[in-house]
Amino acid sequence: MIQAVTSCFQFKRCTTHLLEFIAADKPMVGDALADPSDEKLAHFVRTTAALKIEYRCAQGPSPRVFELALAQLRALNRIAEWESGWVVYPLYTCARQLVQMAAALDARTERAAEAAQCGDLATEDHLTQCGRAVHMSLNLCLKDRDPAASNKRHGAYYFALLLFRTYARLGAHSLVTNMVKVLESRAQDLPPVERAFGERRALTVTYCYYLGRYHACRRADYEKGFRWLNTALLTCHRDHTRHHQLILTYLVPVAFLARRWYPKHHVIAAWPPPQDPAAIHYAALVAALRSGDLGLYDRELVRMQLPLLRRGLYLPLSHLRPYILLRLVKAVWRLSGGSSQLPIRIIAAALAYSTSATPDAGGERLLDHTECLLANLIARGYVKGYLSHGNRVLVVSRTEPFPRLVRSETAA
């Protein structure tokens, strides 16, 4: 095996021998270099050999195994600095192994801390160290100035993908923001995502999913989030239903906020049963969106508050409220005969009824609140008209009082 590994570095190619050599759970075949001519390579081989022995003795990840895996990645980083693009996938394999070990150890530490009723300051330790080492790999790829097509710059996507996962577990949102800014600033130097990952479609799907989540949930850039999430969905294998559901959990609200697309009925019907407490169900929210039922919307948002906050979806779903209010106002306008002048008190009564409030509760304050909501709809361009505060009347356009905002299509 050692001879096969050294030949990979000699002939600049990645083989299964090298990948199996990197893996801690694969047995060691042969001895380490007896008289190394390349000290960096010799150090990498010796570190990997020690990692395999320790992993076998510990029968899995342990703090000592993690230290050796971290040393392995650092050793390979030093070698990769002077290598071409062939080294990206072996380096990614090494970094991915480290991330998996760090996540497993931190999860174990967290469970032990909960049992002992201790603080959780130590739970981030392994992932934090891991993140720094993987970030070095990312920088190696970004700093590659080789003009040849065989450079390492495409590897930036591989390590960004690992850092998305690492920072998500750490809750380090500012680090995600900084990383995305760096990638966007270097976009002209990087190949397209699909070309960078090549035939590894699963990595393309995961990268697009994380980037779409970031833009939609952290930046409220729903158009950009939609494009990335939609690419993830279209690239995902049709038989991977669990991945489809995970992507659609974000794509359903983002598609409406970006393009005003309602999800089709078969998409909602394919969701897991309502008894699953970890799942987010959109059937009631979509019904509220179609009917203008603010009460149903508010109840669903309260019911799913914790899972929505955990997934970063609370903010996007809270941005659906103006569209539900618009549906309600449009329904009141139709029931009132489609007049160009709609009394505020009628809209206020419908609003109070929809939210199960007393229609006359608050009196003038309720009318003022309703006017504020209507002014917001007018400012957004959802209603074409103006408010007559003195007469407490909403005056709408005779030709197009409610500009068409919703399309019937969907990308899902």
Q: Is position 222 within any domain? A: no
**Contact, 51 vs 68, CB < 8 A?**
yes
Question: Tokens 């002048």, residue?
Answer: 341
Identify the band that residue 411 occupies on the pLDDT scale cut at 50, 70 and 90. Answer: very low
| This prediction's pTM | 0.89
pLDDT of residue 363: 77
Q: What does the block give as tokens for 27? A: 């047995």
Q: Give me the helix-helix angle, 201-213 and 241-259, nearest 10°.
A: 40
Give me the DSSP letters along 232-268.
Answer: HHHHS-TT-HHHHHHHHHHHHHHHHHHH-BPPPHHHH
Give me the DSSP letters along 314-330.
Answer: HHHHHTTHHHHHHHHHH
Q: Is position 239 within any domain? A: no
Q: Are residues 50 and 113 in the same domain?
A: yes
Q: Of 173, 191, 209, which closes a domain?
A: 191
36: region left, alpha or beta (phi > 0 left; psi from -120 to 50 alpha): beta
Cross-strand bridge partners of residue 396: 385
Beta strand 385-388 with 393-396: parallel, antiparallel or unpaired?
Answer: antiparallel
Q: Are residues 33 and 88 in the same domain?
A: yes
Q: Are residues 41 and 155 in the same domain?
A: yes
Q: Are residues 286 and 362 in the same domain?
A: no
Q: What does the block give as tokens for 399? A: 């030709």
**Contact, 394 vs 387, CB < 8 A?**
yes
Identify the band that residue 6 occupies on the pLDDT scale cut at 50, 70 and 90. Answer: confident
Q: What is the average pLDDT across 132-140?
A: 97
Q: Are residues 36 and 170 in the same domain?
A: yes
Could you list the residue range(s) of the whole structural domain that residue 375 is in?
321-396
> What would the pLDDT profile of 325-366 be if each residue is shown by its tens digit?
999 999 999 999 999 999 999 999 999 999 876 655 557 889
Beta strand 341-343 with 393-396: parallel, antiparallel or unpaired?
Answer: antiparallel
What is the SS3 assignment for 342?
Answer: strand
For residue 22, the tally of other CB atoms under 10 A from its CB is 24
pLDDT of residue 121: 46
Q: Is position 198 within any domain? A: no
pLDDT of residue 10: 87
Q: Residues 6 or more apart from 13 whose CB is under 8 A from it? A: 86
Q: How many domains does the chain divide into?
A: 3
Q: Are residues 175 and 33 in the same domain?
A: yes
> What would the pLDDT profile of 175-203 be if each residue is shown by its tens digit?
999 999 999 999 999 999 999 999 999 99
Q: What is the average pLDDT across 232-259?
A: 94
Q: What does the block give as tokens for 372? A: 């504020």
Q: Are residues 157 and 66 in the same domain?
A: yes
Q: Is position 252 within any domain? A: no
Q: Of 156, 191, 226, which closes a domain?
A: 191
* C-alpha closest to that of 238 among 268, 265, 214, 270: 270
409 pLDDT more than 50: no
pLDDT of residue 4: 86
